[in-house]
Structure 1
């Protein structure tokens, strides 16, 4: 009887193995990608409820290059790395900068763009980026970002800092006069705020900031540390779409210059 049970168990395992392998292949044909959807022009939700933007198109282009299906999963920024670690999705394409702090938790592909950060002020406010002018002023910054780290590290005590869950929330408070300055990615603010009706009375002030200590190596695709093959596939796909012109076509839809940065 014992031998019969052992034989039945062996047959059951053998029968299940092809199904398991098939499931593994099917899973490899789809990549779930975490996106924010609240960071125009990189990602936002249009009037029809559709995810749009540079990050969204890059995600689809990379999946096409890798010959896998994209499944986009919208996730608030504050929970985007925990969501990856909890396996809600397989990768993050959300303008996430490659920093040493984040590398402690996740791995990254090669960069897919790199742009500097800047301050924005109201036109005619006279605010300059110096100690005397900044005294008593309030700056808005998105919580949990490289821009938050920079402001907290370099301007704590020089500025009152107000934190926001999304960049759009910071834009609304700036337009309403509830804060004196914004600090964020220069390209995101130019397209997402300054070129809109709400941002027409505002302008950049001060220098561009790109210190690797805070701003890292550019924006990359975050992957769980053990997923080395997926990381390498994304890096190879980024290189491929840069070489075949797909990247440039997407870039030109959103920006008048190449935001990839120096090779």
Structure 2
């Protein structure tokens, strides 16, 4: 199964610590819960409870703290959904390589763990609407952000991860720019920091993690680029096939949680360096 993963385990451990100490900055808040994306005929079957499945290795979304407790953005979101729907809620952690099969075997009702929406997963599960999209963004050195202009990129060196959709985007839309490829996003971002590249373009969420430790050096420049067909559909909740009542309840809860400010509060809590 494909998972939307930010970085490797060692880097994620550092990210988890950083998110507990970095203050939130003024930032644009996402609005991905579509208030018009409601079923015309929602399932009449009540939802007596929601059994959420997750994993414990995906900070800052779902992981264990030093006391062994499950915490993270996804954990808080699952609890908020259950509170909104007003039903009993359980959250059980599974190893990543077993979590999807556990959902398919009806050992849970919904999986909130970064399972990517692909042709394969779409054949096995239904998905809620997206609650966190993953745009592409430019990162530049702090001194260059104020003067950043997309129109000037033709003469710049742009660092990207080799083989990524973001590299393809740059080559297509900025054919005159010098593209400098790296094996990882971290290496590409470090190239901007040390001056061997003018800007970075890639997944904004991954860049936000890196920026937690590099705020004095660099920051986002320009606007986010939302291209779901290129950069992925974003984060959503996988639901066991046939559990339409659970999916409808989750979708309606996501709309209400945006409207009452809960989603914004969770985003600011877990993403102090916002990526929108």
Matches within 5 A, 1:46-61: 46-61=65-80
Contact map agreement 1:112 1:219 (CA 8 A) in 2: yes
Give the structure 2 partner of residue 189 of structure 1.
Answer: 207
TM-score normalised per structure 2: 0.54
Give the structure 1 partner of residue 83 of structure 2.
Answer: 64
CA distance 1:211–1:197, shift in 2 (3 Å) = closer
Alpha-carbon distance, 1:201 to partner: 3.1
TM-score normalised per structure 1: 0.56
CA RMSD, 1 decimal? 4.7
Aligned with residue 251 of structure 2, among 235, 246, 253: 235
Matches within 5 A, 1:42-121: 42-66=61-85, 67-76=87-96, 81=100, 84-85=103-104, 89-95=108-114, 102-120=121-139
Alpha-carbon distance, 1:110 to partner: 2.2
Higher relative contact order structure (alpha carbons within 8 Å, sequence separation ≥ 6): 2
Alpha-carbon distance, 1:58 to partner: 0.7
Alpha-carbon distance, 1:202 to partner: 3.8
Q: Deviations over 1:146-177 (max 9, x none)?
A: xx5x24754699654536xxxxxx65996699
| Gaps in structure 2 of 5+ consecutive residues | 1-46, 145-151, 173-178
1:139 aligns with 2:172: no
1:162 aligns with 2:186: no
Higher radius of gyration, 1 or 2 = 1
1:253 aligns with 2:253: no
Contact map agreement 2:53 2:111 (CA 8 A) in 1: yes
Higher helix share: 1
Give the structure 1 partner of residue 44 of structure 2.
Answer: none
Give the structure 1 partner of residue 4 of structure 2.
Answer: none
Give the Cα–Cα distance (whole angstroms) in 2 for the partners of residues 140 and 48 of structure 1. Answer: 39
